[in-house]
């Protein structure tokens, strides 16, 4: 279990991180979100001891991280970096050796991980011969192949197409199933919503959201309504509290409500004649909440 308690960091007069606290239990995934410069990468570098903290505590299983503990961490930095003239196999063995793993432990796993991430190429190929996407997958393998107990991923989905992003999600979920703690940053709210148990949003180094993903969404109220019925835009506009109406190409409506209770009135009207194809009332998406919080609304 990773615990961060009231962690702060300044650079001159700039407060990069202000009293951040978080806990990641074994087998859980935490998403760290926020605009560029919010403090996400600073948080990772403080946990990894790349930067000296001003104040606060960083604990692994209740104790300060030791040099030995860093061998059980898998870290993917936002700035990717591989040795282009080295083969895939040599590269993976090198990074694993830095974490105290022996060649005999890693060699049998290389083919398995290359197949898992569908790397196009042979393990004897030099990294420079691979496409950019395959190079990125090799770096991900280097981060995960030693099956770390704590996984820190800084924008891991950046540059990945949907197929490869799905492969990465599967890899993260597999490590979670083996009891690893995972923390990652992302600007893709869909990925955060799908695989995170908890999330924290930072703005200017301060925590503005903290909790389980579904609980955070529900706290904003079920003000989004997706409707397929015989009601027209004009009829929907007559309901007090319908703030926004978007009619899609297929004739369905996306509505924004000022009060979730209005949904009951719309449902009663829409179903006067019985069955309707769709009535789906939901809280705002995580992406919408992110934009509100980033713009200092709802506070």
What percent of the chain stands above pLDDT 90?
70
Residue 296 pLDDT: 61
Residues 6+ apart with CB under 8 A from 127: 82, 83, 84, 85, 86, 87, 88, 91, 135, 138
Task: State the pLDDT confidence band at 297, using cuts at 50, 70 and 90.
Answer: very low
The mean pLDDT value for 61-90 works out to 87
- Which segments of 38-85 does DSSP mark as H helices, in order? 40-47
Is 34's pLDDT higher than 90?
yes
Strands 181-185 and 150-154: parallel
How many angstroms separate the CA atoms of 278 and 89, rounded?
52
How many angstroms separate the CA atoms of 180 and 25, rounded?
9
Residue 109 pLDDT: 92
Task: State the pLDDT confidence band at 121, using cuts at 50, 70 and 90.
Answer: confident
Is 38's pLDDT higher than 90?
yes
Can you list the domains of the chain with their CATH numbers? 2-217 (3.40.50.300), 221-282 (3.30.70)
Pair 198, 211: CB distance under 8 Å: yes
Pair 101, 125: CB distance under 8 Å: no
Is 193's pLDDT higher than 50?
yes
Q: Tokens 């990945």 map to which residue?
A: 160
How many angstroms separate the CA atoms of 221 and 208, rounded?
17
* Residue 78: closest CA among 8, 139, 164, 161: 139
The mean pLDDT value for 212-232 works out to 95
The mean pLDDT value for 145-167 works out to 88
Task: State the pLDDT confidence band at 158, using cuts at 50, 70 and 90.
Answer: confident
Compute the CA torsion angle 137, 140, 146, 149 (nearest 10 deg): -150
The mean pLDDT value for 240-265 works out to 96
pTM, 2 dp:
0.86
Pair 44, 75: CB distance under 8 Å: yes
The mean pLDDT value for 189-199 works out to 91
How many angstroms separate the CA atoms of 296 and 299, rounded?
6
How many angstroms separate the CA atoms of 155 and 141, rounded?
15
Task: State the pLDDT confidence band at 299, using cuts at 50, 70 and 90.
Answer: very low
């Amino acid at each position: 279990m990773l615990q961060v308690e009231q962690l702060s960091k300044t650079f001159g007069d700039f407060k990069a991180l202000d009293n951040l606290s978080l806990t990641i239990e074994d087998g859980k995934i935490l998403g760290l979100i926020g605009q560029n410069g919010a403090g996400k990468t600073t948080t990772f570098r403080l946990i990894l001891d790349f930067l000296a903290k001003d104040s606060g505590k960083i604990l692994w299983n209740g104790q300060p991280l030791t040099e030995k503990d860093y061998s059980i961490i898998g870290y993917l930095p936002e700035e990717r970096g591989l040795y282009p003239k080295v083969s895939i196999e040599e590269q993976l063995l090198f990074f694993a050796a830095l974490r105290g793993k022996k060649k005999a432990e890693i060699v049998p796993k290389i083919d398995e991980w290359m197949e898992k991430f569908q790397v196009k190429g042979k393990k004897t190929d030099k990294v420079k011969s691979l496409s950019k996407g395959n190079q990125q997958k090799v770096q991900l393998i280097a981060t995960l192949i030693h099956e770390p107990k704590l996984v820190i991923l800084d924008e891991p989905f950046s540059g990945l197409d949907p197929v490869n992003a799905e492969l990465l999600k599967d890899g993260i979920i597999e490590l979670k199933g083996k009891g690893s703690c995972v923390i990652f940053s992302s600007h893709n709210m869909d990925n955060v919503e799908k695989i995170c148990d908890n999330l924290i949003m930072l703005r200017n180094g301060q925590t503005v959201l903290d909790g389980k993903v579904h609980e955070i969404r529900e706290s904003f109220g079920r003000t989004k309504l997706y409707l397929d019925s015989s009601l027209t835009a004009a009829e929907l506009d007559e309901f007090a509290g319908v703030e926004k109406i978007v009619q899609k190409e297929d004739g369905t409506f996306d509505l924004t409500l000022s009060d979730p209770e209005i949904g009951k009135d719309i449902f009663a009207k829409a179903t006067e004649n019985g069955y309707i194809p769709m009535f789906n009332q939901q809280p705002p998406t995580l992406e919408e909440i992110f934009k509100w919080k980033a713009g200092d609304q709802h506070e």
